[in-house]
Structure 1
Amino acid sequence: MSFMKLTTAQALIKFLNQQYMERDGKEQKLFKGIFTIFGHGNVLGMGQALEEDSGDLEVYQGRNEQGMAHAATAFAKQMHHGQLIACTTSVGPGSANMVTAAGTATANNIPLLLLTGDTFATRQPDPVLQQIEQPYNLGISTNDAFKAVSKYWDRINRPEQLMSAMINAMRVLTSQGDAGAVTIALPQDVQGEAYDFPDSFFKKRVYTINRKRPTDRALNEAIELIKSKKKPLIICGGGVRYSEAASTLREFSEAFHIPFAETQAGKSAIESSHPLNLGGIGVTGNAAANSIAKSADLVIGIGTRFTDFTTASKHLFQSEDIDFITINISEFHAGKLDATQVVADAKTALHALMEELKDAHYKSSYESEIQEAKASWAVELKRLCETNYGAADFKPEVAGHLDEELAEYEEIFGSSLTQTAVIGQINKSIDDDAIVVGSSGSLPGDLQRMWMSKTPNTYHMEYGYSCMGYEVSGALGAKMAAPDQEVYAFVGDGSYLMLHSELITSIQEQKKINVLLFDNAGFGCINNLQMGNGIRSFGTEFRMRDLKTNQLTGSIMHIDYAQSAAGYGVKTYTARTMEQLLAALEDAKKQAVSTLIDIKVLPKTMTDGYGAWWHVGVAEVSKNDSIQSAFAEKEEQLKKARQY
């Protein structure tokens, strides 16, 4: 056996360069590159290794640790897990900044490798700069916070530990059913420590995405259950996209006349115009999908986690005869809702089911219900796209604000744009193959309901964690995965203020993204939630402090986001009218640099409801009659929901 004397960091970089992914006969390097923000905890170890010999890894300079990790997550998501970007940071706040991103990746089952600097393994200089000292355990550092949000976590206290740690890390990063964040904590002294690593550690390793077949027993149970049902409904989850099973799902749905609805992660697997595509389902779903769901006698969940938004807190499916089938590569997710479980690759499982059901001449019993539901929703969608504040019969989509309060917004913003009309216009104006990215606030609900996907894999929503601040960073990651397509980040003003640092990175990398900033002067989605449950507007609008009452009830703040972004070198626009928006959208297409359109929209003009209930914590005791009523309504709806 031969050996190679390398530092721990050098060995790690060499190892990453030798990892490959193979899917359906196509092989490529697993790691495209590595995002870096250097500090004292990694610059002399990981930094030295990358500077001396990064191999084929492209090195990217992040601006915020959370932002660059979000970009890496979005890259992996857009690449259907087939290629990754790692992230390295310093010890202390640099590492802590990535905890949120780790949670985002893990909640969405997206592979993300985090290489975090750590305190000294020798403890000689303790407490080192940025070290948190815990008197009860000197071995704890900031990086222990990652344990709750990582699918695999390890600390390399000796160089030779790197080998077993990275082999296990790759096991998780290449898992089809249990991927998520992997955190490898690297004490800064160990990063620079040398060891004689065996050459075998650096051999080429190819990870194959194996299309796991369902067992005969699971297949037969699912077939018999489907054959006994008249009105099944498919829920298309993110697993359909990651399995690249969209064409198989289309064939399956058409063969047996079974409609399908989309989760946030599954949307755009198949174009929205397909006759059997009901669109978004659940709390942020539309009337077509939710109405069909309430009468379905079988739900076939394909690659979905069945979150509370998808099932409307287990309240959506109201048929007394309802049963569930899960097709999922993850045993954990397949086991939800007491379902008949088919633990298998989505594409393979659908093919197997299709063969048997064709032999049985199965067809659903739907007649005109699907077409009628879609037609009814098309009328409502047209109304949403044409909402006009100046119309005599205008009413806010969401109740809560008085007319004089809306007038206050109009006066300060100089705008009468409604959020739904803006989304409708953007949908018509941008390229059919443009990728739209979002994550939090009211926009994901509006987009899941309203957005008409015309090209597969162009709807990129992070909603497993609904992480504010993902949007701009996610757009950069999506652009890195699809450099020939335009990418648009849909982001509210509240989320934009939380994190938009990688907008600068997009300029540095010459990866043009387009930021569509919906400014309604506040956390509008949560303002809806509180006011819809009996609470007055409190701490969710961006208002000045009233110095007489010492409350946040003063005038609405006006922020010029376009002027701010222009200072970064971004091409910017401000839209207060539909004409200005159209002109900005058209001009943005001509730009080579990243763009931002500051769109001033009226509050309470986003979509609302459509037959789904969401279980949220409402105060059981209150002096406020409206809160008491909200609690009583919650208790009544809970009686209609499944308990587990």
Structure 2
Amino acid sequence: MSAPTRRLTTAQALVRFLAAQYTERDGVRRRLIAGTWGVFGHGNVAGLGQALVEYGDVMPYHQGRNEQAMVHAAVGYARQLDRLSTQAVTTSIGPGATNLVTGAALATINRLPVLLLPGDYFASHAADPLLQQLEHPVSADVSVNDTLRPVSRYFDRVTRPEALIASALNAMRVLADPAETGAVTLALPQDVQAEAFDWPEEFFADRVWRVRRPAPDPVELAEAVRAIRAARRPLIVAGGGVHHSGAEDALKALVDATGIPVASTQAGKGSLRHDHPADVGGIGHTGTAVADELARTADLVIGVGTRYSDFTTASGTLFRAPDVRFLNVNITAFDAHKLAARTLVCDARTGLTALTGALHGHRVAGAYEAEYAAGKERWDRIVEAAYRGDDDAVPTQTQVLGALDAVVGDADVVINAAGSLPGDLHKLWRARSARQYHLEYGYSCMGYEIPAAIGVQQAAPDTVVWSLVGDGTYLMMPTEIVTAVQEGLPVNVVLIQNHGYASIGGLSESVGAERFGTAYRHRAADGTFTGAPLPVDLAANAASLGMDVLRAKTVRELREALAQARASDRPTCVYVETDPAPTAPPAEAWWDVPVAETATREAARAAREDYDRQVAARRRHL
């Protein structure tokens, strides 16, 4: 007797299959693909578009306005749910598909799952060249979707209906694997999407992908314990893997028992509450003074779920002790082996729990604890000074953060990605819960914040969500405001107007480029962009897209507006123009941005002299 089958199009079969996929970790089961975002064109409207209409009862659909933004929303959703659930994104062939590339790169760099389903050329080549098809003169199987190969953790072009079975299973395997996950692309030729096939019924059965918590190797664990017991000045660097693994309590148990201080990367901030005695704040170029001084003098650096970006290591200049060694706890061997480290290739929570048990009775010296406690207290005073301001004055950017700090609840989520805000937030923000601090700094993608806020709000509907954007970032991608309004998602956008790219302006000045091309201003008589600020009303733009808008001119008005926004059940924008004077503490560690080796202008020559001094401190840890 033959196995039962069901006759469906390839697109219909894919939607039914995705609706039956689940993850399970620690006994908790979730939909792996919780919904599908889509913008439709001729490359997907008759295939996936029709399938989503056919099976709307099992696969929720979300209408996006920009393909890149849809990926950001799905990524925000996945991060909020610890990578255990994500969303799919479908686009047409051509510009819709290539718009996915930036979002895919962001997902893969940050090790966050998202499923991409772009339309493609006719597999039969019956209609070549169709509208929006890239013609390659010597490779007929190349399409614009091949741009997604280097930014995807798994890629396949499904050129026959039955090929979907193996490809879809591989896609789910990668999405659910904490060591492999990232963007996954299934390119779908539009004729194949609409082609019918007799699918085995078991293809549509519920399937559970168990998310493993691998334990550390006993030999590696013993070596790690010996290294920690021998260290005089150990320092933990908490990365995003702490959050992805749900290892915050395990980390707290370890530091409560041992007294080892914890510094955090952008992705790892909030691994401990800011007021925990062992939390010394952000590390690296945007880190705190106490964390960076501990890093310079550490003899053992214990990285937990971090990939050691150049901001974290201060471009290889931060960890300066002659005898410094590294121990990395990471589920991904690729990251665990960085900096020639001893490794615990395992789940972060499992590894930290094993270390706590094996280190029973061990604690760092009391003098070391007193040292970092005093440094933490000094930094807290710096934060208070940066947050404080005259109630009737125009706020600085750090005073905007102070006003927000006074309003947010412990469970609120604060989202940011680019500009000068990430540095200020990493130094100054006092994270009160594991999910509160949501910084996308693996790709630092302008335009991420608003669509990511939508994804977070979908994942946590009862949570207050704040999207912090500067005017440069806002102008990149405000379109998903319309989606928030359409879906009734009460996201809050804090829009800070400072008339240009403040972060790159400061960097430009420091490397001798004299803030060239970083201000939003009219041209002056000499042709440079140094005239009056542009008469752009971004608050009016947000209102025109359907948001409620609150304008604040002073610190007091800002606090009142933020409180009003938090209490609202509507998408709300708080607009504030800031005093451009920098009030954030300066960088406590270097960042390598190469400076012109030869130049006639004095600013560039002076910047190169400083660069040569700084780069001399770089060290390769072998």
- TM-score band, normalised by shorter chain: over 0.9
For the residues of structure 2 that align with 1:611 and 1:543, how far apart are their CA atoms? Answer: 31
> In the alignment, what sits opposite 1:44?
46
Q: Which amino acid aligns with 2:498?
A: N
2:359 matched residue in structure 1:
357
- Is 1:239–2:241 an aligned residue pair? yes
How does 1:101-112 map onto structure 2 within 5 Å? 101-112=103-114
SS in 2 for 1:383: helix
- Aligned mate of 1:566, from 543, 567, 572: 543
Q: Deviations over 1:295-336 (max 9, x none)?
A: 111110000011011111121111111110000000000010
Query: Which of 408, 415, 420 is 1:442 aligned to?
Result: 420
Question: Does 2:437 align with 1:451?
Answer: no
Equivalent position of 1:307 in the other structure: 309
Q: Please say if residues 267 and 441 of structure 2, whose CA atoms lie closer than 8 Å, have aligned partners that are also in contact.
A: yes
Match of 1:196 in 2: 198
Distance 1:636 1:578 in 2: 40
Q: Residues 120-140 of structure 1, C-alpha deviation per residue, up to 9 Å, x if partnerless?
A: 111111111111222222221
1:529 matches 2:479: no
- Partner amino acid for 1:51? V
- Aligned match of 2:400: 422
3-state SS, counterpart of residue 437 of structure 1: strand
CA distance in 1 between partners of 2:389 and 2:605 (Å): 33
Q: Does the 8 Å CA contact 1:258/1:364 hold for their aligned counterparts?
A: no
Which of 168, 184, 187 is equivalent to 2:189? 187
Please point out which of 529, 532, 540 is paired with 1:552. Answer: 529
- The reply to whether residue 466 of structure 1 matches residue 444 of structure 2 is yes
**CA offsets, 1:341-394, max 9 Å, x none?**
1100111111111111116x343461411111101101111111125699xxxx
Letter in 2 for 1:82: L
Instruction: Give the C-alpha shift of residue 203 in structure 1.
Output: 2.3
1:19 aligns with 2:21: yes
Q: Give 1:8's aligned residue.
A: 10
Q: Distance in 1 between matches of 2:129 and 2:522?
A: 42
Match of 1:270 in 2: 272
Q: Does 1:617 align with 2:594?
A: yes
Q: CA deviation at 1:641?
A: 1.6
Secondary structure at the aligned position of 1:35 is classed as strand
Contact 2:391 / 2:555 at 8 angstroms: preserved in 1? no
CA distance in 2, matches of 1:638, 1:118: 47
Contact 2:107 2:183 in 1 (8 A): yes
TM norm structure 1: 0.94
Aligned mates of 2:365, 2:329 — CA distance in 1: 19
Q: How does 1:46-445 map to 2 (within 5 A)?
A: 46-358=48-360, 361-364=362-365, 366-386=368-388, 416-445=394-423
Asked if 1:589 corresponds to 2:591, the answer is no
Matched, 1:30 2:32: yes
Residue 397 of structure 1 corresponds to which residue in structure 2? Answer: none
CA distance in 2, matches of 1:518, 1:452: 20
Task: Please tell me whether the aligned partners of residues 290 and 610 of structure 1 are also in contact (alpha carbons under 8 angstroms).
Answer: no
Structure 2 partner of 1:406: none
Structure 2 counterpart of 1:482? 460
User: Which residue identity lines up with residue 56 of structure 2 in the other structure?
Assistant: S
Deviation at 1:205, TM superposition (A): 1.2
Partner of 1:635: 612
Is the CA contact 1:543–1:557 (under 8 Å) kept in the aligned structure 2?
yes
SS at match of 2:386: helix
Distance 2:292 2:565 in 1: 36
Distance 1:88 1:18 in 2: 18
The answer to whether the 8 Å contact 1:14/1:55 transfers is no
Secondary structure in 1 aligned to 2:411? coil
Once residues 558 and 608 of structure 1 are traced to their aligned partners in structure 2, the CA distance between those partners, rounded to angstroms, is 31
Verify: 1:520 aligned to 2:521, yes or no.
no
Distance in 1 separating the partners of 2:78 and 2:369: 41
Moved more, 421-430 or 50-59: 50-59
User: Tell me, which stretches of 5 or more residues in structure 1 are unaligned?
Assistant: 391-414
Question: C-alpha separation between the residues in 2 aligned to 1:364 and 1:333?
Answer: 30
Residue matched to 1:408: none
Q: Partners in 2 of 1:26 and 1:537 — Cα distance?
A: 51
Most deviating of 555-564 and 370-379: 555-564
State the shift of 1:13 in Å.
0.5
User: CA-to-partner distance for each residue in 1:52-98, whole Å, 9 max, x for gaps?
Assistant: 11342211100111111100000000100111111111110111111
Return closer, same or farther for 1:367/1:552 CA change in 2, 3 Å cut-off: closer
Secondary structure at 2:150 match in 1: helix
Bigger mean CA offset, 310-319 vs 328-337: 310-319
- How far has the Cα of 1:579 moved from its partner? 1.9
Give the deviation of 1:202 after TM superposition: 1.9
- Determine the C-alpha separation between the residues in 1 that align with 2:490 and 2:562: 14
What amino acid is aligned across from residue 541 of structure 1 in structure 2?
A
Q: Any conservation in 2 of the 1:13–1:50 contact (CA below 8 Å)?
A: yes
Residue 19 of structure 1 contacts residue 206 of structure 1 at CA under 8 Å; is this kept in 2? yes
Deviates more, 1:605-614 or 1:300-309: 605-614
Deviations 1:601-634 (Å, cap 9, x if unpaired)?
1224252534200011211111123312222222
1: CA distance, partners of 2:526 / 2:391: 32
C-alpha separation between the residues in 2 aligned to 1:484 and 1:213?
34
Structure 2: how far apart are the matches of 1:161 and 1:54? 24
CA distance in 1, matches of 2:200, 2:276: 55
Q: Secondary structure at the match of 1:368?
A: helix
Deviations 1:185-206 (CA, angstroms, capped at 9, x unpaired): 0011110011111122222211
Number of the residue aligned with 1:600: 577
Deviation string 1:19-65 (CA, Å, 9 cap, x unpaired) is 01111011122121111111111010001111011342211100111
2:444 counterpart SS class: coil
3-state SS in 2 of match to 1:125: coil
* Offset from partner CA, 1:444-499 (integer Å, 9 cap, x none): 11111111112231111111000000010111111111110110001110011001
Match of 1:626 among 600, 603, 613: 603
The runs of 4+ residues in structure 1 deviating greater than 4 Å are 387-390
* Structure 1 letter corresponding to 2:582: T
- Decide which moves more: 103-112 or 553-562: 553-562
Contact 1:388–1:418 (CA under 8 A) maintained in structure 2: no
TM-score when normalising by structure 2: 0.97
| Distance (Å, rounded) in 2 between the aligned partners of 1:583 and 1:362 | 46
Deviations 1:499-523 (A, max 9, x none): 1211111111111100001110001
Q: Name the aligned partner's letter for residue 325 of structure 2.
A: D
Q: Which amino acid in the other structure matches residue 175 of structure 1?
A: D
The separation in 2 between residues aligned to 1:590 and 1:254, in whole angstroms, is 36
Conserved in 1, the CA contact under 8 Å of 2:35 and 2:61? yes
Cα distance in 2 between the residues matched to 1:545 and 1:122: 54
The equivalent residue for 2:482 is 504
Letter of the structure 2 residue corresponding to residue 536 of structure 1: E
- Counterpart of 2:461, as a letter, is P
CA contact (8 A) 1:389 1:418 kept: no
CA distance in 1, matches of 2:88, 2:188: 14
**CA distance in structure 1 between the aligned counterparts of 2:457 and 2:539, rounded to whole angstroms:** 22
What secondary structure is seen at the aligned counterpart in 2 of 1:149? coil
2:425 partner SS = helix
